[in-house]
A and B are shown apart, each in its own frame.
Chain A
Amino acid sequence: MSNGVLSARDPDRPESIDVDAVVVGLGAGGSMVLRELARAGLDVLGLEMGSWYRPEEASPNEAEMLPRLFQESGARATEDFSVSILQGKGVGGSTLHNTNLCKRLPNAVLDHWADRFGLDWATGESLQRDFETVEDLLNVHRVPDHRVNRNNSIIESGLDELGWDGGRLKHNRHPEACKQSGFCELGCPNDGKQNAAKVLIPQALEAGATIWTEARADQITTRDGRATGVCGTSVDPIDGSPGSKDRDFTIRADVVCAAASATGSAALIRRSDVPDPHRLAGTNLHMHPGATVVGLYDRDVESWSGNPQSVECTEFLDHSDPTSGGVWLVAGAAHPAGASTFLPGFGRSHGRMMQSYPKIASIIAMLHDQSAGRVHPADDGGLHIDYSLHEPDYRELARGLRGAGRILFAGGAREVIVPTTPALRASSPGDLDGIDASDLAPLSPALAAVHPMSTLWMGSDPEESVVDPRGQHHQVDGLWVADGSLFPTSFGGPPQIPIYTMGLRVGRAILQEYSSTMSANR
């Protein structure tokens, strides 16, 4: 491992240490905060429950990589199993296995956050400058033509044919290091991602940060309304639980930053009995749940090959009404085990669909969800998630499924499969017209979500938000949040750039607050 990185399972690891700041979770938000604080000269420790991933260890085998890179081996789900929730672990968090799409927050969403939640900065120039800083740092650029794979070209030509809104996206892959292997969701074998692990963590370590891997934070400690540190334990990096040889640790710190994702931070803060007079922490969970619609083609598509996602359809997103929701459509590539799960049924008919695997293109219809769920800490140090869709979101989902099917037909599909129960096998666009909200229910279709957010959201009113507009907890000084939890609402787009940017801003706010507290104490 690199200098400054220690496994918490190491027998020589100290039981307790004192630092200026501790950051829990090293994904998009946490890595950025770690970098900011280390570069400003703070003695900062990052705790990460997963391990240190090296590109040379990558394998194209899903059963090997999911346990290493995903929370609960990719089997995390809502309590009723109706939504699978894919989230990462390891130094780099979900940016290790994400598909690198980059987009700023829509202006209409930012306007709503300013009006409704008192986030004055949301409409200011400084936020746009921060987006730019992050985009430069991570080498964000438009996906060029020669990196659009066939699944995405089908979507692009379908959109053209229909005259629908959408188009090419930006990404943060390295123009040379990315070899187009298409394995992004299993961790890049070529170090082609300009992600938290490759860009931010080395800079943080270089500046003097320390990282403990396989270190799960279980409790934030507080005294007289101030954060005082974190307690936790070393854990098995695969199943995330402590074994007989694992040991507890205590970190004393002036600043605690929860960046363990919208599920992990919410569970940690709730478990820590941090004051929550309005019982808000962990509620308001949004996650852009989505269902995959498949098109069968007469020619090879080989959707697994090349950049998995590079084109979006925004025809069904209308941000002008902040309560209307909508649905965002992007390519839904998967490797064989993943694809076999979203292809409906079992036995002979399922086998025939799998034999068409090279000839399928797919689209995920992802909800800009207005429904809200809740994260609860579990007794074993893990968490439970409750979430169910309400009727307006089912209506939007139905619209998205129909729209996805139409794009696939416009791109040349001979058949489209919609994963309702029973599955709809459409042989013409007209067959899709009948799909409506009444066909949809939990597990019809099964949903998957990759963007949990909003559980510890920002706002100026402590009765209606968990943290203040800078990211500091309303009730506990020195406790900050810097991950997807911060967004007051969902927004129907890729969240990593907004989360990295929040990490930058929260890091800066911590430094400001820290230096004024220090000078007041002198």
Chain B
Amino acid sequence: MATPFDKWIRIARSGADAMAQKAQSVGLATAGSMARRLLGQPRPDSGWADWEHGVTHRLLEVLCDYDDALPDPEAVHAVEATRNFVDTLPPRRRSQLHDLLAVIEAGPLVLAPDGQRLAFTSLPDSAAHTYIRGWSESSIPQRRAVFHALKSVCMMGYWSQEQTWSPIGFDPGDHHLDDPRNIGDDDE
């Protein structure tokens, strides 16, 4: 009886998934360079261009548009923390993140959220929210993927800042040696 195992061996032999993989990775790099062309911005030689910093800043403003009980991203230096985190990624992953920033900045020039054909960082608040919601709830998986990847790094930047912890009731305790919460030894 043929098992799923036999099926994938056939697929693997055909090499079809290797081609799909190539198309996919070329896809993001191409989208990134098209977006930069639309924006009239070259790819920075290394590090961060000012406009990329601006996109990260605006993204954090929209993603972390929380109510007053939670700190403002600016107040907790979330942009710097996000950048620092992205800079720890391997070069290929880092470059994908920069491509995603270009794509999200140039997207409204094509998608015109609330009828506004402006770069993301120039959109007024409500159009910026509509625009980001469009990515997060899109029926197209690739668009949800862009949202998910950018949300993950921005959340790392914001929620890793200790000032954001007590407003949500998170207390790591004294998590080092001899934590007072030692509540007894195992008897097995």
Contact = CB atoms under 8 A, between A and B. Distances in A.
Contact of A189 (B91, B169, B176): B176
Kindly name the residue among A141, A341, A464 whose own CB sees the greatest number of chain B CB atoms within 10 A.
A341
Interface string B147-188: 011011101111110101101111011011111011111111
Nearest to A112: B3
A358 B153 CA distance: 23
A144 B129 contact: no
A346 B165 contact: no
Interface string B117-150: 0000000000001001000111001101110110
B89 A384 contact: no
Contacts of B12: 279-280, 283-284, 374
B156 A441 contact: no
Interface string A420-461: 011000000000000000000111101000000000000000
A99 interface: no
B151 A346 contact: yes
A79 B25 contact: yes
Contact of B3 (A67, A323, A358): A323
Interface string A441-485: 111101000000000000000001000000000000000000000
Interface stretch (B42-50, B59-67, B108-116): B59-67
B92 to A, nearest CB: 5
Contact of A284 (B8, B65, B93): B8
A58 interface: yes
A175 interface: yes
A78 B164 CA distance: 30
Contact of B144 (A144, A280, A346, A443): A443
A246 to B, nearest CB: 13
A103 interface: no
Given A239-B88, A241-B90, A280-B9, A351 B66 contact: yes
Contact of B66 (A189, A348, A357): A348
B144 A305 contact: no
Interface string B1-38: 00111001100110101101100110000000000000
A283 B141 contact: no
A446 B13 contact: no
Given A79-B24, A82-B141, A386-B17, A142 B188 contact: yes
B75 interface: no
Nearest to B145: A81
Q: Name the prevailing secondary structure of the A interface residues.
A: loop
Nearest to A283: B12
A376 B88 contact: no
B179 A63 contact: no
Contact of B137 (A62, A82, A280, A421): A421
Interface stretch (A13-21, A125-133, A177-185): A177-185
B179 A181 contact: yes
B168 A355 contact: yes
A337 interface: yes
B137 A380 contact: no
A442 B141 contact: yes
Interface in A66-108: 66-67, 72-73, 75-77, 79-82, 84
A350 interface: yes
Kindly name the residue among B8, B81, B181 whose own CB sees the greatest number of chain A CB atoms within 10 A.
B8
Contacts of A181: 172-173, 175-176, 179, 181
A464 B175 contact: no
A179 B182 contact: yes
A61 interface: yes
B17 A305 contact: no
B169 to A, nearest CB: 4
Contacts of A299: none
Contacts of A358: 168-170
A176 B159 contact: no
Nearest to B4: A370
Interface string A271-301: 0000000111001100000000000000000
Kindly name the residue among B64, B65, B145, B146 whose own CB sees the greatest number of chain A CB atoms within 10 A.
B145
A61 B141 contact: no
Contacts of B138: 421
Given A63-B85, A75-B89, A355-B70, A283 B157 contact: no
A336 B141 contact: no
Contacts of A386: 17, 20-21, 24
A61 B66 contact: no
Contacts of B25: 79, 384
B70 A354 contact: yes
A363 B149 CA distance: 22
A141 B81 CA distance: 40
A221 interface: no
B167 A380 contact: no
Nearest to B13: A279
Interface of B: 3-5, 8-9, 12-13, 15, 17-18, 20-21, 24-25, 62-67, 69-70, 81, 84-85, 88-94, 129, 132, 136-138, 141-142, 144-146, 148-149, 151-153, 155-160, 162, 164-165, 167-170, 172-173, 175-179, 181-188
Given A339-B159, A357-B170, A382-B90, 14 more contacts: A58-B176, A61-B160, A81-B146, A81-B148, A82-B145, A141-B188, A142-B188, A181-B172, A181-B173, A183-B172, A189-B175, A189-B177, A346-B64, A370-B4
- A-B complex: 8 closest residue pairs judged by Cβ atoms: A351-B66, A175-B186, A63-B160, A67-B88, A443-B144, A81-B145, A442-B141, A60-B172
